[in-house]
Amino acid sequence: MNLKLRKLAAAFMLTGTAAGAYAGALPESQTANDWYQTGNELVEQKAMQARNLNTAKNVILFVGDGMGVSTLTAARILEGQLQGETGEENFLSFETFPNTALVKTYNTDQQTPDSAGTMTAMMTGVKNRAGMLNLGPMAERGECDQVSGNELTTALTLAERKGKATGVVSTARITHATPAATYSVSPDRDWEDDSKLPEASNCVDIAQQLVNYSEGNGIEVVLGGGLRHFKPNTDGGRRTDGQDLTQVWLDNANGETREFVSNVTELNNLDVANTDKVMGLFTSSHMSYEEDRDGDVEPSLAEMTETAIDLLKKDEQGFFLTVEAGRIDHGHHAGNAYRALTDTHALAKAVQAAVDNTSRDDTLIIVTADHSHVFTIAGYPKRGNPILGKVVDVNDTIATGSDNLPYTTVGYMNGPGFAELATGGDDRYQQAVHTDGRVDLTNINTEGQGFHQESLVPRSSETHAGEDITIHAMGPGSHLFSGVIEQNEVFHVINEAADLGGEQY
């Protein structure tokens, strides 16, 4: 036990409340055990943590899209194993945060949710139907005439009205469901540009809403993918209205210093001190998986997070920032655990960057998911067995099923199923669904990036799952996260902690 912990333990012994106060009743074989001592020290640390009752000047909401409990477990083990450890004892950066809760994720019309409905709940305090952005549950998907009277106001909008700076960062298209739920109102999450709108529609597409967002003094930071939804179809985009919305955004500066960046060099060279707003769209569609990212072209999630914080913290009123690791979800949909887990590592690095560049005294940091995936950890592998490997038991025997074929520790309830591809990224969607049952994996490297795990039910895309996900928080108001909560409570904690004024007017 280090000196600091010894002092904490001594203070607790004086009050008779230390975790080890009654250690004398236990045998030395128990109290001298490393597990016992480590556990005792952790409890002592937590017991000394007081509730932070300050008002949160800043709020950062991290969303790992599709980052369910099994994803967290496998990602922490893989991260530890990549560092040369057995893996199980590892913690991802945010797993050491002092406050946690379980979150129920269902939509009002689905047991297993989608990202539009779940992010709407977190951003507005109201659960709604799947597929819709920031509309109450009485509205129906795809019906423009039901927008009026059913609109919901987001935490980002409240922050703008409060005079705070705001930002949206994602490795997905910035018009995709999760980031779009911070700033847009749409009866269909798929209306990312005008080409998707119904004929004679009075609805406004999501990209147009972002560019014309006018609450407060507008969103200061927009970083992610999805350039195609801002460019006309005559210039590599998908818009049919002929507009280049990136230029429209620049032209709307009204005396502000605005910068549009398209690669990591331009982002790194940004003069943050003299820039009021920045938009960065680095890819036509989603940004690359972390494993495939060209660091000379695309910034990492951590780099985008650091830049966003540097620009936003110039505002004396504070800021509200949402950061999404969107491609965790896509890795799972493709049945490629390697990419889902390594993108989770990228999220953990971005969270650490936020912790390092803010103060826990005035910044509420929340890390959660929108939903889970049908991703499983099974069998009886020995401790330290490669999490992406085949199951090897404590007797160093490769485990087999009743069909005498080996199987992997991680797999999927449904999805495209087995594949062994050169890269293992989006090219999985170009392959036929594996429908021929089990595969003999004896001579196949299941730990490689191109391996796609077997699935029970063949589907072109693996599905979301409906079980609870986790939330991890630190900073002012983080103690309000405890127990099992409804997903819409996330908004209410943010509103309360940051005093956003989300009351009836």
Residues with catalytic roles: 115
Coil, helix or strand at residue 418? coil
CB 151 within 8 A of CB 157: no
Q: Write the DSSP assignment of 424-475 as a string of letters.
A: -SGGGGGSPP--S-----TTS-TTSTTEE--EEEE-SS--EE-S-EEEEEES
Consecutive H or E run containing 268: helix 264-268
The dihedral built from the CA positions of residue 228, 231, 236 and 238, taken in this order, carries a sign that is positive
Backbone phi, psi, residue 439, to 5°: -120, 140
How far are the Cα atoms of 61, 114, 141, 283 from residue 189, in angstroms, in the given order?
A: 21, 10, 9, 20
Name the nearest CA neighbour of 284 among 162, 166, 426.
Answer: 426
Partners of residue 367 on adjacent β-strands: 62, 472
CB 391 within 8 A of CB 302: no
Q: Kindly provide the residue ranges of all beta strands, DSSP E only, lying in 319-409, ordered along the sequence.
A: 319-325, 363-369, 372-373, 375-377
481: alpha, beta or left? (left if phi > 0; alpha if psi -120 to 50):
beta
Name the nearest CA neighbour of 312 among 211, 218, 226.
Answer: 218
**Neighbour tally for 370: CB within 10 Å:** 31
Site of tokens 């904490």: 8
